[in-house]
């Protein structure tokens, strides 16, 4: 078995189908974001698929075909130092769209990216947020960097097709100067001025979590204190804790969990009820800078049950990755290290995905030592074992998954320092698993039918019984 694709099974879990390089540039750790969009897509498969990138748009279809979809479709955007590439999901293929935002290579550098689509019935607005560093020339011997948050698309009447909306998103931009180097951008919904609004959160090296919300009248984003909405963020900002990564997990019932990891090993965890009131919080410190945190439910179902409690993955720069189990019950008291996770330099990212379609999510981590490892929990225990491991040419920065070609199976997306790798799941394993499920469904139907026949037979027998009267 080759060293770069090791698995505990008889066949590999994934097969690489495409690699898209960033050109002569590299990306940053926060250079990948998935986008759920209800906007239609229209560009046909490009010639020399999947290697071609589209840098101009073909004519759009007539406007009568522009009704948004009922359910959002997932796409993703990857950023290099000065350019964005959108990977647009289509039936049987995907298209790569180059998004030109006028950033000058060598002078501007993208630090982080986030994207979200706001949807109110059929009124759709696409927002793209970038953290940018720009070289500012001083005197002949001196130069420094200026940082800014750039929010694109904060206007009404988004174009009807996703490709159009992304291609023209640079027409409207709001540039917000930042006093310190930004790290990560994320978003969530908050109740502001009696309505739910999208807020962007920016962690920065000044130790403050900055929050930006759009003003209803001016349509410009303004900064509000994050502590007003989330006390844990006020605590972080008061102590000037440099947060490197933050994750917000929303239950479908409106409850929310927030976790943040700091440069000096600080780990914060807080719980919010449906009214947005914080009812529980935890804080500890571990001996390592925290590179990522990820809250997840171990089962594929999002229903909150006793056997589907929240777990937390914490990856570290100089220690093994940790899994905190049942965090709502145990807080940050019980953890277990992922085996071999500290053997390949710093662990930079984490992700969860049901890679073998058994209803249980596996844990994926990516390392600076160019490894992706997939861990599966041993049934009936709290032990994790390595299910699959693959070596890459460059450090692993981000991992995600989505159904990029809309065939019903999610592709694995891995971004490294210099490009994007797209992996397709093992089709034979998928076929075998599907047949198992179909056989189980057929056997269940047969069993239910047999029970129904037995019940009917018993009813008929009861009717036919004649009771003799006793003298």
Mapped to the 3 state alphabet, what secondary structure does 197-208 carry?
A: EEEEEEEECCCC
CA Rg value for the chain:
25
pLDDT for position 302:
66
Does residue 262 have a pLDDT over 60? yes
| Single pTM value for the model | 0.88
% of the chain with per-residue pLDDT over 90? 60
Cα 174 to Cα 153: distance, rounded to the nearest angstrom: 9
The enclosing H or E element of 374 equals strand 371-377
Cα 213 to Cα 181: distance, rounded to the nearest angstrom: 20
Cα 355 to Cα 268: distance, rounded to the nearest angstrom: 29
pLDDT tens digits along 28-55: 889 999 999 999 999 998 888 888 888 8
pLDDT tens digits along 134-153: 988 764 444 588 999 999 98
Mean of pLDDT values over 352-356? 94
Whether the ω angle into residue 50 lies within 30 degrees of 0, i.e. cis, is: yes
């Amino acid at each position: 078995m080759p060293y770069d694709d090791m698995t505990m099974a008889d066949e590999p879990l994934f097969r690489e189908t495409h690699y898209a390089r960033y050109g002569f540039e590299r990306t940053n750790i926060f250079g990948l974001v998935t986008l759920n969009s209800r906007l239609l897509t229209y560009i046909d498969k490009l010639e020399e698929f999947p290697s071609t990138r589209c840098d101009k748009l073909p004519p759009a279809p007539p406007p009568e075909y522009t009704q948004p979809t009922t359910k959002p479709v997932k796409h993703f955007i990857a950023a290099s130092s000065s350019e964005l590439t959108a990977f647009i999901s289509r039936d049987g293929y995907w298209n790569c769209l180059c998004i030109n935002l006028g950033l000058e290579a060598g002078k501007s550098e993208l630090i982080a990216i986030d994207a979200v689509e706001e949807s109110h019935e059929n009124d759709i607005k696409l927002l793209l947020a970038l953290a940018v560093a720009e070289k500012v020339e001083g005197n002949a011997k001196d130069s420094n960097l200026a940082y800014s948050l750039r929010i694109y698309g904060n206007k009404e009447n988004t174009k009807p097709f996703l490709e159009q909306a992304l291609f023209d998103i640079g027409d409207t931009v709001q540039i917000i100067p930042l006093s310190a180097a930004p790290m990560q951008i994320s978003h969530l919904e908050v109740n502001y001025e009696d309505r739910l609004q999208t807020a962007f959160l920016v962690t920065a090296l000044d130790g403050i979590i900055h929050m930006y919300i759009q003003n209803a009248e001016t349509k410009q984003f303004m900064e509000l204190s994050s502590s007003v909405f989330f006390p844990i963020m006020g605590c972080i900002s008061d102590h000037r804790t440099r947060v490197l990564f933050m994750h917000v997990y929303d239950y479908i019932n409106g409850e929310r969990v927030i976790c943040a990891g700091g440069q000096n090993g600080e780990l914060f965890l807080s719980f919010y009820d449906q009214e947005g009131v914080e009812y529980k919080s935890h804080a500890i410190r571990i001996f390592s800078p925290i590179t990522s945190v990820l809250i997840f439910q171990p089962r594929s179902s999002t229903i909150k049950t006793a056997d589907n409690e929240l777990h937390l993955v914490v990856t570290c720069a100089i220690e093994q990755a940790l899994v905190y189990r049942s965090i709502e019950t145990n807080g940050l008291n019980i953890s277990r290290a992922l085996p071999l996770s500290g053997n390949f330099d710093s662990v930079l990212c984490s992700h969860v995905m049901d890679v073998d379609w058994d209803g249980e999510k596996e844990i994926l981590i990516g390392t600076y030592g160019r490894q992706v490892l997939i861990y599966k929990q041993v049934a009936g225990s709290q032990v994790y074992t390595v299910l699959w491991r693959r070596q890459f040419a460059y450090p692993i920065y981000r991992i995600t998954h989505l159904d990029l070609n809309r065939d019903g199976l999610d592709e694995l997306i891995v971004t490294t320092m210099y490009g994007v790798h797209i992996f397709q799941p093992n089709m034979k394993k998928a076929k075998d698993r599907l047949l198992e499920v179909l056989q189980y469904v057929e056997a269940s139907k047969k069993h239910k039918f047999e029970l129904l026949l037995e019940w009917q037979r018993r009813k008929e027998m009861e009717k036919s019984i004649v009771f003799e009267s006793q003298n």
